[in-house]
Amino acid sequence: MAKSVLEVKDLVKYYGPLKAVNGLSFEVKENEIFGLIGPNGAGKTTTLRVISTILQITSGLVRVFGYELPRQAGEVRRIISYLPEDAGAYKNMTGKVYLGFMASFFGNGGKTREIVQEGIKIADLGRRINDRVDTYSKGMMRRLLVGRALMTDPRLAILDEPTSGLDVINAKEIRDIIKNATKEGTTVLLSSHNMLEVEFLCDRIALIDEGKIVEEGKPQELKKKYKASNIEEVFVEAVR
Amino acid sequence: MRNKRNEEKRGCLGSIIKKEVKELLTWETILPIVMIVVIFGMMGGVYSGVEEDVEEEPIIGLINNDGSGTYTDILIDTLDGGAELVYNRTDEDGDLGELIDEGLEEVGNEGGAALLIIPLGFNDTIALGEERASIRVIWILEGVGTFDSIPTGSVSGLLEVARSKITRELVGGDGGNVDTILAPFEYKSNETTMIKGGNPVNAGPGDIIGALATQSMLIPIMIMIVIMFSGGNVITSMGLEKENKTLETLLTLPVKRRSIITGKIVGSSAVGLAMALIYMLAYGFFMRGFYSSSDLNLEEIGLSLGIVGYLILAISISLAVLGALALCLVLGSFAKNYKSAQMLNGPLVALTMVPMFITMFKDFSTLPLTGKIVLFAIPFSHPMIASRALLFGDYLLPLSGLAYMAFFTLVMILIAVKIFNSDHLLVGRVKKEEEGKKRGIRFGLKSRIKPD
Ligand SMILES: Nc1ncnc2c1ncn2[C@@H]1O[C@H](COP(=O)(O)OP(=O)(O)OP(=O)(O)O)[C@@H](O)[C@H]1O
Ligand SMILES: [Mg+2]
């Protein structure tokens, strides 16, 4: 049995009086791709931000590779990589310089160069990698940031809607990159609205609504359980 | 192992500082400085042009209806020696009006400053000594700017000189010592000023204040500039992180919050100090013209800072800058983007401008009680207050200022660290009416992200 990479138990998160996450529990196993699926405002981003150590936990337990939040946030940051839903890069830098800046937190000298090469390969922006990031299109920016998130070979990659804003071809490429990353020992936790993507990519998924998990399991199993032909139908049934 | 860890840490801090500096040194930030330098340079240039104007002889016209005589000659010689006479006539046909029209036109064409008319009997009236004689002056003003009064001012000066020469001639005629009669006693060579709370100084109050004027202006201005540039940079940097949506990523990197805070503070103050230095050089060049060095040697009369004084002042300035940067980090956490960051500069500007203007014109000790309280409470006043208090040997005020600033800075840094460890940077403010509930929730539960 693969060991547990991420444990979330009874997680509750309030924004002021607003309950964004309402007693969420799930587990992610080593080397799998786990998807959080749910409508807008379900609490996906909030959950991912809590796991990424940048939001406080109101109550509940989060453990990453045995490190407990918030006590061991420093250790957790060393092994995770987080791709925010809506992120940018420092405008005055070129894509390559940005990757270099980010890589400098994960090693020095030759190691940094290695990481940057990996990032350039993943981003695959060709010559444009030497242009300032404020000249990038939305999709190019997303590719750069995906490259940044995966170049460090994180043990757990937390990707909030990794393919948002990408066209069909680019989205497919990113999906392949994510699939590949797991072959090199990375575990992936992602969120998505794209049900086709989820079916193709995820080993297991959790359907969230109003801060709660309403269903969890392998896409195939869920489809069988709800006698549905696709995850979209599963979702509609489960939420009802 | 330990060493390697340290190295890594330094590496992270180094790259953050480098990034901050690069981000802050853009055309948007450099251009205003360059413009200020150019403007000051140009104003300095205008001023030296003005100085030439002062030295240049004014152009005048003269209508002399009095012929010659001892006193008339003194007047005419003085005018001739200090001004360029482009029109010099005598009213022979009794048609003064026509001569004046002609004279004004000619003097005006030459860019002159005045037409002077010496009436008949000028010399005799003075010689009789019963009444004052008079001359008529028609001024020609080319504009009403401050510097436009220079040529006419020089002519007035010449008239004063002539008047004083005629006085001497009149007094000297009686055979007494002219200097003694004109000033029967004097006090300037033997005066001492007691300054409240300080050592006596062997000079007059006007001279002392004059000699300290440059310093009184420059130190508060310099402190204000350093604080505003460095502080503004911190706020801008926070605004940019939010605008570029980079903060979220930065906060998940394996780098200590402390390093992010230190990186921002060090980077911003380095850039701020460099900007302030350039600015001060330009400003110094500009001010040099206005404050001619005084005759008083400050060191000789005991009005200069000793080593201890300089040390206290340096600590005071550093603490003020540090406190300002910590405050700005707190302010900057409210910035939503570059634009709102500029708005957040407001409190900082107020907190540095107010003490700057107060200390420029008043001493702490001469302020009313409320003024003292306000000035003391503003942390950035203290280096400005200290720079003067130390000069007069007052250590209590600067040292209590240091203690207060240290306290202020510590509180601000603690708040900044708390903010960086909280949701505030990403979540922003929760609506007012919800704040009570929010607090209830927050404090009711133990879990918090532990500061690292
Ligand atoms: N900064 C914030 N301040 C207050 N409430 C917030 C904040 N961010 C999110 N929320 C609220 O928390 C709830 C969950 O939001 P979250 O962003 O986690 O949803 P999501 O599942 O990621 O949605 P989406 O699919 O639209 O990205 C929503 O009701 C949202 O309004
Ligand atoms: Mg979201």
pTM of the predicted structure, to 2 decimals: 0.73
Chain A positions with Cβ closer than 8 Å to B: 14-17, 49, 52-60, 69-71, 73-74, 77-78, 80-82, 84, 86-93, 101-102, 104-108, 145, 148
Whether the predicted pLDDT of B91 surpasses 80: no
Which pLDDT belongs to residue B261?
85
Which pLDDT belongs to residue B295?
55
Helix axes B338-361, B205-243, angle to 10 degrees: 170
Whether the predicted pLDDT of B342 surpasses 70: yes
Whether the predicted pLDDT of B1 surpasses 80: no
Q: What's the maximum distance between 2 C-alpha atoms anywhere in chain A?
A: 55
**Which 8-state DSSP code applies to residue B430?**
P
Measured distance CA(A177)–CA(B157) in Å, rounded: 87
Render pLDDT for A111-135 as a digit per residue (tens, 0 to 9): 888 899 999 998 888 899 999 998 9
Which pLDDT belongs to residue A2?
58
Which pLDDT belongs to residue A187?
93
Using CA coordinates, name the residue in chain B closest to A17: B438
Whether the predicted pLDDT of A100 surpasses 80: yes
Which pLDDT belongs to residue A160?
92
Task: Let me know: does B101 contact B121? Beta carbons within 8 Å.
Answer: no
Ligand 1: which of A36, A45, A191 to mutate, judged by most atoms within 8 Å of the beta carbon? Answer: A45
Using CA coordinates, name the residue in chain B closest to A145: B249
Whether the predicted pLDDT of A99 surpasses 90: yes
Cβ neighbours for A106, distance < 8 A, ≥ 6 positions apart: A112, A115, A152, B254
ipTM for the whole complex: 0.90
Which pLDDT belongs to residue B285?
66
Which range (A4-18, A22-36, B150-164, B265-279) has the least confidence? B265-279
Q: Which of B11, B23, B431 sits opposite A90 (nearest CB)?
A: B23
With CB atoms and an 8 Å threshold, state whether B246 touches A106: no
Whether the predicted pLDDT of B449 surpasses 60: no
Count CB pairs under 8 A between chains A and B.
108
Whether the predicted pLDDT of B7 surpasses 70: no
Among A13, A108, A159, pick the best mutation site for testing chain B contact (most B Cβ within 10 A): A108
The alpha carbon of A190 and the centre of ligand 2 are apart by a number of angstroms equal to 11
Most confident by average pLDDT, A200-209, B32-41, B216-225, B354-363: A200-209
* Helix/strand/coil (H/E/C) assignment for every residue in chain A: CCCEEEEEEEEEEEECCEEEEEEEEEEEECCCEEEEECCCCCCHHHHHHHHCCCCCCCEEEEEECCEEECCCHHHHHHHEEEECCCCCCCCCCEHHHHHHHHHCCCCCCHHHHHHHHHHHHHHCCHHHHHCEHHHCCHHHHHHHHHHHHHHCCCCEEEEECCCCCCCHHHHHHHHHHHHHHHHCCCEEEEEECCHHHHHHHCCEEEEEECCEEEEEECHHHHHHHCCCCCHHHHHHHHHC
Whether the predicted pLDDT of B452 surpasses 50: no
Atom of ligand 1 nearest to the CA of A36: 21
Which residues of chain B are within 8 Å of residue A88 when distances are taken between CB atoms?
Answer: 244-246
Q: Which of A49, A73, A88 sits opposite B244 (nearest CB)?
A: A88
Which pLDDT belongs to residue B284?
66
Closest by CA position to B389, among listed B318, B294, B309: B309
Which range (B60-69, B93-102, B167-176, B220-229) has the least confidence? B167-176
Question: Ligand 1: does its nearest atom lie under 6 Å from the Cβ of A15?
Answer: yes
Give whole-number Cα distances, B334 to A61, B252, B358, B375, in Å: 30, 20, 29, 26
With CB atoms and an 8 Å threshold, state whether B252 touches A86: no
Task: Let me know: does A98 contact B246? Beta carbons within 8 Å.
Answer: no
* CB hemisphere CA count around A41 (13 angstroms): 4
Which range (A49-53, A122-126, B156-160, B293-297) has the least confidence? B293-297
Closest by CA position to A69, among listed A88, A54, A81: A54
The alpha carbon of A192 and the centre of ligand 1 are apart by a number of angstroms equal to 14
Which range (B4-13, B232-241, B313-322) has the least confidence? B4-13
Question: Ligand 1: does its nearest atom lie under 6 Å from the Cβ of A52?
Answer: no
Task: Let me know: does B330 contact B415? Beta carbons within 8 Å.
Answer: yes
Question: Ligand 1: does its nearest atom lie under 6 Å from the Cβ of A51?
Answer: no
With CB atoms and an 8 Å threshold, state whether A73 touches B452: yes
Cβ neighbours for A204, distance < 8 A, ≥ 6 positions apart: A32, A33, A34, A35, A216, A217, A218, A219
State mean pLDDT over B278-285: 71
State mean pLDDT over B72-94: 87
Measured distance CA(B239)–CA(B425) in Å, rounded: 11
Question: Ligand 1: does its nearest atom lie under 6 Å from the Cβ of A45?
Answer: yes
State percent of chain B over pLDDT 70.
81
Among A67, A99, A104, A135, pick the best mutation site for testing chain B contact (most B Cβ within 10 A): A104
Exposed/middle/buried for residue A123 (C-beta within 10 Å: 0-12, 13-18, 19+): buried
Whether the predicted pLDDT of B86 surpasses 80: yes
Most confident by average pLDDT, A224-238, B38-52, B58-72: B58-72
Which residues of chain A are within 8 Å of residue B431 when distances are taken between CB atoms?
Answer: 16
Whether the predicted pLDDT of B45 surpasses 70: no
Which pLDDT belongs to residue A25?
92
Question: Ligand 1: does its nearest atom lie under 6 Å from the Cβ of A192?
Answer: no
Render pLDDT for B374-395 as a digit per residue (tens, 0 to 9): 989 998 889 888 888 887 778 8
Ligand 1: which of B427, B435, B437 to mutate, judged by most atoms within 8 Å of the beta carbon? Answer: B427
State mean pLDDT over A101-115: 85
Chain B positions with Cβ closer than 8 Å to A: 7-8, 11-12, 15, 19, 22-23, 26, 240, 244-246, 248-249, 251-256, 422-423, 426-427, 430-431, 434-435, 437-438, 441, 445, 447-450, 452
- Angle at B438 (CA atoms; ends B433, B442), nearest 5 degrees: 160
Q: What's the whole-number average pLDDT of chain B? A: 78
Which pLDDT belongs to residue B441?
38
Which pLDDT belongs to residue B451?
41
The alpha carbon of A22 and the centre of ligand 2 are apart by a number of angstroms equal to 16
Measured distance CA(B81)–CA(B162) in Å, rounded: 11
The alpha carbon of A46 and the centre of ligand 2 are apart by a number of angstroms equal to 7
Render pLDDT for A142-153 as a digit per residue (tens, 0 to 9): 999 999 999 988
Using CA coordinates, name the residue in chain B closest to A148: B249
**How remote is the C-alpha of A58 from its chain's centroid?**
22
